[in-house]
Structure 1
């Protein structure tokens, strides 16, 4: 984490006497004039970052056919990222959203604060059902004054988020963490089933033994997946692709390795 996410740059530390080899541009001419001999400004890396976690709590996340619900996995990953940032002494904030911003925890430092973020991620009960990702991203841009590292943890089942995402990534370092269940990509052949849309309360009766229906579903799912990846690529947002049937630690490590390679 520390090797991948750097601070905002260099900050002033102290003034000391000039030594052979010091750069001329680092000389503090005001102090030099007062003291009668050269002094230089010393800088250190400003390590502190602000990490914002945008957590999708819409009803579509309360789905899962393997191991965990998407919502449980999203909350767990959110907690892992919060604790990692805290270990590095970074500020951490949370924006939990559905079709509206449900909860905002302003970024602060310290274990007590981070445990609050973890608690909200794991146990907060949203009132909304739908998803409004553009609104959540725009809210982030309003409440953050400085550049942040922002993780958006969502299944990204929404529309019209490309432009807000592009604008936000110009101000922040935005990383998309996409949560997907295998049944969202491939329909099983299990006969007649009833499907409920948790966000609209609509119900559907489907005959999954229909080969054409399964083929159409699978093609549409892959198309949406490719469209989502294309959006991320077009706005230069990195994506951590998480699946509920695969341990997420490997995908997180793969992302950090990729980021580290980019910095070299």
Structure 2
């Protein structure tokens, strides 16, 4: 799955370019591409990405869907050892008797794909050291993938997290549904005091999503500890991809002299001297340690991982 997702690399559109069918803004005319919140509208986001990415990548799904979903179907895909959550009806008794270890049959999914986006919209995703914020990257990823899926008759849904699970969008198909999903992501999220608890989103998804699906967890994974186990439990039933959104400044501090750093969630501020080489080294060491811990957590949970950065294309 990771290789399939890496094909999603739409180029950034040139500044000021208009997609086919678009028009230039007349002097004095309100900009219809900007929402009342000052953000790019869902329609404009989707139209821009349809022009720059989605149509160009449209053929990818034709051959790759069969590798994305495994479940109850007609085509035998694999045999593997029985796990405690497996349906005993899928046990292959001949193989089990021969190997003396219970094995189950895994089939290729023969129905349309259902995909869920678990999107972290907590305060930390509003950060960006350059032109783009992490929220912008998350929105573009969801827009591209959701529209590509729905163009092929598949259904997508979403759970949006601000200070808790603020919104649940049931799975449906069609372009209008993708617009509704993007518009919901553009709305100001509720931000209560305290830190992000990603485990609350994952536990809610595990109880809500009954049918086997592909689940994309789109987050910067800046969260209170405790999300690792719920992620692993979710991956036991669903195909899960951890989509991590990062900013370069979170990994390495440049020499900028005195700098005020603000924690976006508790709201605490700290004045640091980035000219201090020792401080920058300690920061880089802690960041590298966190990177290693995150990678290990994804491996233990049994999920694929994809990283998106604010300084590059999707």
- The TM-score bracket by the shorter chain reads 0.7 to 0.9
Which structure would you say has the larger Rg?
1
- Counterpart of 2:134 in structure 1 is 70
- Counterpart of 1:172 in structure 2 is 238
Within 2, Cα distance between the matches of 1:45 and 1:70?
33
Indicate whether 1:225 and 2:225 are aligned. no
Secondary structure at the aligned position of 2:148 is classed as: helix
* Correspondences of 1:14-29 after superposition (within 5 Å): none
Q: Deviations over 1:172-214 (max 9, x none)?
A: 1000001111111001111111111110010101011111111
Unaligned stretches of 5+ residues in structure 2: 1-60, 75-107
Structure that is richer in strand per residue: 1
- Counterpart of 1:147 in structure 2 is 212
Unaligned stretches of 5+ residues in structure 1: 12-43, 249-264
Alignment check: 8 A CA contact 1:53 1:150 kept = yes
Indicate whether 1:240 and 2:306 are aligned. yes
**Deviation for aligned residue 1:6:** 3.4
Mark the CA change 1:45 to 1:185 in structure 2 (over 3 Å): closer, same or farther: closer
In the superposition, the TM-score normalised over structure 2's length comes to: 0.65
Within 2, Cα distance between the matches of 1:168 and 1:7?
15
Alignment check: 8 A CA contact 2:117 2:142 kept = yes
1:126 corresponds, among 179, 189, 195, to: 189
Alignment check: 8 A CA contact 1:7 1:48 kept = no
Indicate whether 1:116 and 2:180 are aligned. yes
Secondary structure at the aligned position of 2:168 is classed as: strand
Mark the CA change 1:45 to 1:178 in structure 2 (over 3 Å): closer, same or farther: closer
- Counterpart of 1:135 in structure 2 is 200
Secondary structure at the aligned position of 1:65 is classed as: coil
Alignment check: 8 A CA contact 1:82 1:118 kept = no
Alignment check: 8 A CA contact 1:193 1:206 kept = yes
Please report the RMSD computed on the Cα atoms of aligned residues, expressed in angstroms.
1.7
Secondary structure at the aligned position of 1:131 is classed as: coil
Within 1, Cα distance between the matches of 2:125 and 2:273?
24
Alignment check: 8 A CA contact 1:6 1:47 kept = no
Alignment check: 8 A CA contact 2:69 2:214 kept = no
Indicate whether 1:163 and 2:226 are aligned. no
- Counterpart of 2:150 in structure 1 is 86
Aligned positions, number: 215
Alignment check: 8 A CA contact 2:137 2:309 kept = no
